[in-house]
Structure 1
């Protein structure tokens, strides 16, 4: 396999190194991070059927609504 030498800054090296997985070469890391066929929609909607997530999101929404109402009505104390 042919190889090329690439010069990068220390900062770029450290960032790349932070993405490197155990047992993975830098070549493997670069190929993984630059995968052209990566599906950007992968995982989209993964929590759609998770009732626990929906309930938690609903509670958070309600809490934000209540806090907004309190501030609007002057009942909010810091």
Structure 2
């Protein structure tokens, strides 16, 4: 592995199990930590949208949710018929 340096890290059993559960097939624990540490938090997105833009998105989501519910209701009615 060349000039790679290694560090020992102590984890509680709970932290170890949580990390292990995030580990993907073929991935080392180092790979898992690097992947997770590189993930963006939703908090990183705070302030990107104006209040007006956020409300527009919320409204579009509500409208799509309503259309989805109506579609499921229609499907349920056809199945019940």
2-structure distance, mates of 1:11, 1:58: 40
| Unmatched tracts of structure 2, length 5 or more | 46-56, 71-81
1:51: which partner in 2?
none
SS at match of 2:21: helix
CA 1:12–1:39: 2 relative to 1, 3 Å = closer
TM-fit CA distance, 1:39:
8.2
SS at match of 2:27: coil
Whether 1:6 aligns to 2:9 is yes
Listed one character per residue, the Cα deviations across residues 27-70 of structure 1 (whole Å, up to 9, x for unaligned) are 0000000006x4856xxx8xx8xxxxx3xx12438xxxxxxxxx
| Unmatched tracts of structure 1, length 5 or more | 49-53, 62-78
TM-score by length of structure 1 reads 0.50
Q: Which one has a larger percent helix, Structure 1 or Structure 2?
A: 2
**Count of residue correspondences:** 49
2:29: which partner in 1?
26
